[in-house]
Amino acid sequence: MSEKQFLSEIGRIGWTKKDAESAIAEIKALFSSELGETVVLVRNPRAGESLFKDASIAAFLDKPFPVRSVYTSRVAVGERNPAILAVCVGSDCTLGPFLQQAVDLAAIQLAIVLSRSRGDLPVQVEAA
């Protein structure tokens, strides 16, 4: 799949998914199908708390990939406390700035789902 097609697939999540759980599962499925082993997390960290202390991220970073990357983006809906979407990718090479763009778009799509469904963002959601 081309980068343009990948972004297009991410872009449709906001309009086709009815809740945060199904949107997160779709984000995970897309990244995994194109990039291999991927962990997708949504966390609402306390002020000053590092995502890298999260057990799932720490476990992922311990895996034996030549390149282990963690991309994050803020998920904010209205006045709610923002959460963080984290996408961890293990690969054989550096994936460059495109993946940050894809994660930023996925966070926007997740925010669209949340605003439309008026649902709360589940804290500590993981699609591994």
Give the CATH number of domain 3-127; options: 3.30.450, 2.30.230, 1.10.10, 3.90.25: 3.30.450
Contacts of 43 (CB under 8 A, 6+ apart): 51, 54, 83, 84, 86, 123, 124
Q: Which amino acid is at 4?
A: K
Report pTM.
0.85
Check pLDDT > 90 for residue 118.
Answer: no
d(CA 69, CA 61): 8
Say what the pLDDT of residue 120 is.
Answer: 59
Is residue 42 within 8 A of residue 125, CB to CB? The reply is yes
Check pLDDT > 90 for residue 81.
Answer: no
User: What percent of the chain lies above the pLDDT cut of 70?
Assistant: 85
Q: Domain-by-domain residue ranges, the chain?
A: 3-127
DSSP string, 75-108: E--TTSPPEEEEEEEEESS---HHHHHHHHHHHH
d(CA 123, CA 20): 11
Say what the pLDDT of residue 101 is.
Answer: 95
pLDDT tier at 4, thresholds 50, 70, 90: very high
Mean pLDDT along residues 70-78: 85
Neighbours of 60 (CB within 10 A): 22
